[in-house]
Amino acid sequence: MNFENNLAFAQALDQQDILREMRNEYLFPQQNGKPFIYLCGNSLGLQPKVAREVLEVQLNNWQNLAVEGWFEGNSPWMFYHKELKKLMAPIVGAKPAEVCPMNTLTVNLHLLMVSFYQPKAKRFKIIMEAGAFPSDQYAIESQVRFHGFDPKDAIIEVKPKEGEYTLRTEDIVKAIDDNAEEIALVLFGGINYFTGQWFDMPAITKAGHKAGAIVGFDLAHAAGNVPLQLHNWGVDFACWCSYKYQNAGPGGISGIFVHEKHFNTPLNRFAGWWGYNEAQRFKMEKGFIPEAGADGWQVSCTQVMPMALYHASLQLFKKAGFMDALRTKSKTLTAYLFYVINQLNTKLGEEQFKIITPQTEDDRGAQVSIIAKANGKKIFDELVVNNVLGDWREPNVIRLSPVPMYNSFEDVYRTGELLLTISQSIA
C-alpha cells in the first residue's frame, strides 16, 4: 500500500477498517480530561467496558449461591474453565483439550518445565534467546539449579550478530544443530519483548525436534498479537499471560498449551487436587490420577474472578473473528507506524529514530521498538505529557504498540506528528 503522512489519509484508512467499532468496547485512560492514545497494549491491554459487569455477575453468584456456586447457577465455577478453553484454542491454534487457563505465567513456566525439562547426564542443556524477558531467565536458571546443574554449563543463549539487534533464524537453527546431542529443551519466546521480533516458531520447533529435544514457547507477547498454530507446528508446550494483548486485566490468568501427543505419556508434574480426574475429584482419594489433557496440569481451584475477565475479553476476540481480521489490520497498522517514523527521519534530515524491530512483517507483531539518537527519555516523557502512552525500556528503547483491536490509523498519524514536534522543540 502507498501510505500518505496526513490526517485525511489516516482517517480514510479508519473508515475502511472493518474492526473500527471494536475500540468502542474498551475504556481508554485519560489525562486532563482527554483520552490517551494508548500504545502500550504490549504491556497491559485496555479494560473492556464489560469487565465491571462480568465481575459483578460473579460477585452476585458468590453472594446468592455461596458454596453452591461451584455446581449451581448459570455458569457453575466447577466447569467454568471449559468455556474459556473453547475461546482460547483459536487464539493459539490448538484443540480445546490442549489448553487450560490457570495460575500466572511464570508459575506455569515452572510447572511445565517440571514436566518437560527432564535433563539427563549427557542431554541436559536448554537453548534460549539472549535477552529473554528476565522472569524467564530466572525461571530457567533456577530450574537448571534445581536439577543440580550449573546455569553456566546448561544454558545456551543465542545472540544477535555483532551490530544487530535481532536474531537470524539460521543462527538459531545452527545453535540447535551444533549442540544437538546435549540439548534437552529448546525454550524461546514467541515474540521478544524488547525488540518485538517474532521468531520463526515452526523452524525452531522443527530444528529442536530434529535434535531430539522438547520445544516450548513463552507466548506472553505473541498470544492475541499474531496468529499461532501450536498444534500444527507440533510445539510440545507453551504458556502465556492474558493481560498483554488479551486485555484480561493486571495479574490476569495465564494459559497453558500441552500438545495432545503428550496426553498419554506419564510425565512428572507438581500435582494438586484440581488436576485430578474430574469425575472422581471429590472422592478425595489417595494417589494422583490426572484429568485428561491440559486440564491435568491444574493445581489449585478455579480462579473465578480472573477467569471471568479473560472470558469477557475473549468474547471480544470472538466478535472480531479471532486472529484473521486482527492480523490483517495489524500488519497495515504497524507498517503505517514504520512509514510514519521513516517520514519523520526524512523530515528531520537524519535517522533520529532507529527502528530495531524487524523490517519484514512476518517477523513482527504489533510492536515497534525505536531508539532515539538523543534525548530518548526526554522524548518519551514529552509523549506522555501530550497524551501518548507507549513504554520506556532501559537503557534507551521506546516501545510503541499499535494494537489492532483498539488503535486507529489516526492514532498512529498523530503519534508521528507529535514525535516530530517534540524532536524539533528539544533539538
Taking CB under 6 A as the rule, does residue 241 contact ligand PLP?
A: yes
CA distance 222 to 218: 8
Shortest Cβ distance from residue 300 to ligand PLP (Å)?
Answer: 15
Q: Which is nearer to ligand PLP, 311 or 399 (CB)?
A: 399
Output the CA angle 264-139-211, nearest 5 degrees. Answer: 55
Helix pair 134-146, 105-116: axis angle to 10 deg: 40
Taking CB under 6 A as the rule, does residue 291 contact ligand PLP?
A: no
Q: Which is nearer to ligand PLP, 25 or 218 (CB)?
A: 218
Taking CB under 6 A as the rule, does residue 135 contact ligand PLP?
A: yes
Taking CB under 6 A as the rule, does residue 217 contact ligand PLP?
A: no
Shortest Cβ distance from residue 193 to ligand PLP (Å)?
Answer: 4
Taking CB under 6 A as the rule, does residue 198 contact ligand PLP?
A: no
Contact pick of 23, 110, 125, 221 for ligand PLP (by CB under 6 A): 221
Interface segment toward ligand PLP; rule CB under 6 A; list 10-18, 171-179, 213-221, 267-275: 213-221
Q: Which is nearer to ligand PLP, 106 or 195 (CB)?
A: 106
Q: Is 221 annotated as a binding residue?
A: yes
Torsion sign over Cα 325, 87, 238, 302: positive
C-alpha cell at 418: 507529535
Query: What is the DSSP code string of 306-358?
Result: HHHHHHHHHHHHHHTTTHHHHHHHHHHHHHHHHHHHHHHHHHHTS--EEE-S-
Taking CB under 6 A as the rule, does residue 101 contact ligand PLP?
A: no
Shortest Cβ distance from residue 148 to ligand PLP (Å)?
Answer: 25
Taking CB under 6 A as the rule, does residue 201 contact ligand PLP?
A: no
Q: Which is nearer to ligand PLP, 100 or 379 (CB)?
A: 100
C-alpha cell at 399: 516501545
Shortest Cβ distance from residue 424 to ligand PLP (Å)?
Answer: 34
CA distance 293 to 259: 8
Q: Which is nearer to ligand PLP, 189 or 358 (CB)?
A: 189
Contact positions with ligand PLP (CB under 6 A) in 316-345: none
* Cβ(196)–Cβ(369) below 8 Å: yes
* Cβ(356)–Cβ(369) below 8 Å: yes
Q: Is 313 annotated as a binding residue?
A: no
Altogether, the residues listed in the chain come to a count of 427
* Cβ(387)–Cβ(31) below 8 Å: yes
Interface segment toward ligand PLP; rule CB under 6 A; list 129-137, 162-170, 308-316, 340-348: 129-137
Q: Which is nearer to ligand PLP, 108 or 387 (CB)?
A: 108
SS3 content of the chain, % helix, strand, coil (to 5): 45, 15, 35
- Looking up cell 520445544 gives 215
CA distance 140 to 126: 8
Taking CB under 6 A as the rule, does residue 19 contact ligand PLP?
A: no
Contact pick of 193, 297, 310, 338 for ligand PLP (by CB under 6 A): 193
Q: Is 274 annotated as a binding residue?
A: no
Q: Is 133 annotated as a binding residue?
A: yes
C-alpha distances out from residue 74 to 50, 60, 68, 328, Å: 18, 12, 12, 36
CA distance 41 to 399: 10
Contact pick of 5, 58, 106, 334 for ligand PLP (by CB under 6 A): 106
Q: Is 136 annotated as a binding residue?
A: yes
Q: Which is nearer to ligand PLP, 104 or 408 (CB)?
A: 104
H/E element, 199 = none
CA distance 172 to 421: 41
Peptide bond into 395 cis (omega under 30): yes
* Cβ(273)–Cβ(281) below 8 Å: yes
Q: Count of alpha carbons within 13 Å of 307, Cβ hemisphere only? A: 22
Q: Mapping DSSP to helix (H, G, I), strand (E, B) and coil, where does residue 368 land?
A: strand
Taking CB under 6 A as the rule, does residue 40 contact ligand PLP?
A: no
Taking CB under 6 A as the rule, does residue 189 contact ligand PLP?
A: yes
Q: Which is nearer to ligand PLP, 57 or 299 (CB)?
A: 299
Taking CB under 6 A as the rule, does residue 220 contact ligand PLP?
A: yes
Q: Which is nearer to ligand PLP, 221 or 259 (CB)?
A: 221
Contact residues for ligand PLP (CB under 6 A)?
104-106, 133, 135-136, 189, 193, 218, 220-221, 241
List, as residue ranges, the binding site.
Answer: 105-106, 133-136, 218, 221, 243, 273
List, as residue ranges, the binding site for pyridoxal 5'-phosphate.
Answer: 105-106, 133-136, 218, 221, 243, 273
